[in-house]
Structure 1
């Protein structure tokens, strides 16, 4: 699985500020609706339900909200860079400015896990996060996320 398989260019956005975690979830859902046709209200509900199990803020300013959505046929990603970080109840109690949300079919067991592992592993890379934060342009962010990192030195 690659970022090219998960993410469309129109699913990448820079948001000046979100007033709250819930508002951010609405922004994510609206982007998922416009990019993939995922019903926004269903997406918000599914994301908030997943958050109630435990926050998806993984630390270092990164959040990976995810949810299963009935009626979609593959895993889809949405990327948002926040110009002003928002409180997200992250594990390190730091506000979040990099958000990569995943929407998976209800029965997408291993594919959902592969996507989550790819995104999680990639966004643990401090150099990648620095590069993302330094490029507040959606097309540049898409290029950074989808470039082939396998050929780069470790």
Structure 2
């Protein structure tokens, strides 16, 4: 599966002032809801927070993948932000996070959602890929770095 199947340029932001984990999650929820009006930013936010209470989605190496399942979602949806300054995301390695890739899936999603999440996590720990994301200075450049053909396939 290619990243562009669940990410678009409208849900990709570069240079975001995250301030805190909670504020960053709120930004992601709003970003998704603005692009998909059938989804509620409040519902997405609360679902992300509920998932975070189970354990941080901070993978380490400056990367987090907040994710959840939500009703009214018709397929896997992603949002990517690059923070202007790293924040504490309670990552497993204790390091601050600057790349946050959110995923939501339908409430009734099967294991394909977990396979996509796993494949995305594997992609995001590839230093060549994340270096390209970190070098991006505009929304468009970040989207192109995330979805370029040779780099954006996730094996599910």
User: What TM-score range do you get, normalising by the shorter chain?
Assistant: over 0.9
Shift of 1:141: 1.1
Question: 2:25 matched to which residue of 1?
Answer: 25
Q: Is the 8 A contact 2:12 2:143 kept in 1?
A: yes
Shift of 1:16: 3.5
Secondary structure, counterpart of 1:114 in structure 2: helix
The residue correspondences of 1:47-126 to structure 2 (distance < 5 A) are: 47-126=48-127
Count of residues in correspondence between the two structures? 151
Q: Deviations over 1:58-91 (max 9, x none)?
A: 0000000001010111000000000101100000
Cα distance between partner residues in 1 of 2:132 and 2:27 = 23
Cα distance between partner residues in 2 of 1:15 and 1:144 = 15
Unpaired segments ≥5 residues, structure 2: none
Q: What is the RMSD computed on CA atoms of the aligned residues? A: 1.4
Shift of 1:35: 1.7
Shift of 1:12: 0.1
Task: Return the TM-score normalized by structure 1.
Answer: 0.93
Structure 1 ranges of 4+ moved more than 3 A:
none
Cα distance between partner residues in 2 of 1:70 and 1:57 = 24
Q: Is the 8 A contact 1:17 1:85 kept in 2?
A: no
Cα distance between partner residues in 2 of 1:114 and 1:36 = 23
Q: Is the 8 A contact 1:75 1:111 kept in 2?
A: no
Secondary structure, counterpart of 2:22 in structure 1: helix
Cα separation, partners in 2 of 1:150 and 1:142, compared to 1, 3 Å: closer
Unpaired segments ≥5 residues, structure 1: none
Shift of 1:107: 1.0
Secondary structure, counterpart of 2:137 in structure 1: coil
Q: Is the 8 A contact 1:18 1:82 kept in 2?
A: yes
Q: Is the 8 A contact 2:11 2:32 kept in 1?
A: yes
